[in-house]
Amino acid sequence: MKEKFYAYILNLQNEITSALEHIDGKAKFVEDEWKRKEGGGGKTRVIQNGIVFEKGGVNVSAVHGPLPQSMQAYFKVEDVDFFACGLSLVIHPKNPFVPTVHANWRYFEMFDKSGHMVDQWFGGGQDLTPYYLFDEDAKHFHQTCKTACEKHDSSFYPKYKKQCDNYFWNAHRDEARGIGGLFFDYLKSNENQSIEDWYNFVTEVGNSFTQAYIPIVEKRKDMPYTSKHRNWQEIRRGRYVEFNLVHDKGTLFGLKTNGRIESILMSLPPHVQWQYDYHPEEHSDEERLIKILKHPIDWV
């Protein structure tokens, strides 16, 4: 399974970076191949200073070795070895009317010291973080997620949509990071789903990503904007950074397993603001966004 999924994410990385380069029209992804001394490595691809994309990364990694003690406590396991591979992406567009997007699809295995597998699971999802909310964009993104889910099980979309709303919650701000999408973890074989079934589901979601995001970019990338719009975008990006550094499990896992710091922190936007006690104007588009982030809604 690990070879099969790793081959899949390498191919998906190519597909996604090609689609994003095409829509930008100027900037190209630069690939940085790296090795992890404890075992494994990855391919980090970063795009910067484009016409459409200010900064973005589409990373693939496959790492293995002894599970560090700090993560043994987290997973509630003894001294084991692990293998983890995944594709993780974050795209920060320049235009404030184009939303930031994040996605991740990953596979994990744990082995005892005799080399016997003791656990395996899939995880991942995709979610949207707009700065200005267009209802039709939110509906399109969520409908694409729902369609992918329903090819496998009608219960998946409401379940994983709710998990996404719960996970990407900035508890210290009492608001969502964005308008959600899908989030799933610890997808293990059970009486209803084999690990092969979960592979088919996770790759279905991965294959839906460009369909979910690219049409929104096409629609919004050439909209005129002002310094006021840009100012709001940078303030909201600050909340994005707060979530990633305070709450995100993937960031924590990378830092605690001696991951490559440039790849882990490539999710952070290049221009961000933290203004003291900032509140948007009443009845403004900015205030409407905040109200919905305080109380996530069903888009489809």
Active-site positions read 102
Phi, psi of 30 (to 5 degrees): -105, 130
Query: Reduced to 3 states, what is the DSSP secondary structure of residue 111?
Result: strand
Q: How far is CA 72 from the centre of its chain?
A: 24
Query: Reduced to 3 states, what is the DSSP secondary structure of residue 219?
Result: helix
Tokens of residue 288, six digits: 């409407």
CA angle 70, 102, 95 (to 5 degrees): 135
Tokens of residue 11, six digits: 């191919």
Listed in sequence order, the DSSP H helices in 94-226 are: 135-150, 156-167, 195-220
Longest dimension (CA), the chain: 63
Asked if residues 99 and 93 have their Cβ atoms less than 8 Å apart, the reply is yes
How many beta carbons lie within 10 A of that of residue 30, not counting itself? 10
**Which residue do the tokens 């990006």 mark?**
237
**Distance from C-alpha of 246 to C-alpha of 272, rounded to nearest angstrom:** 16
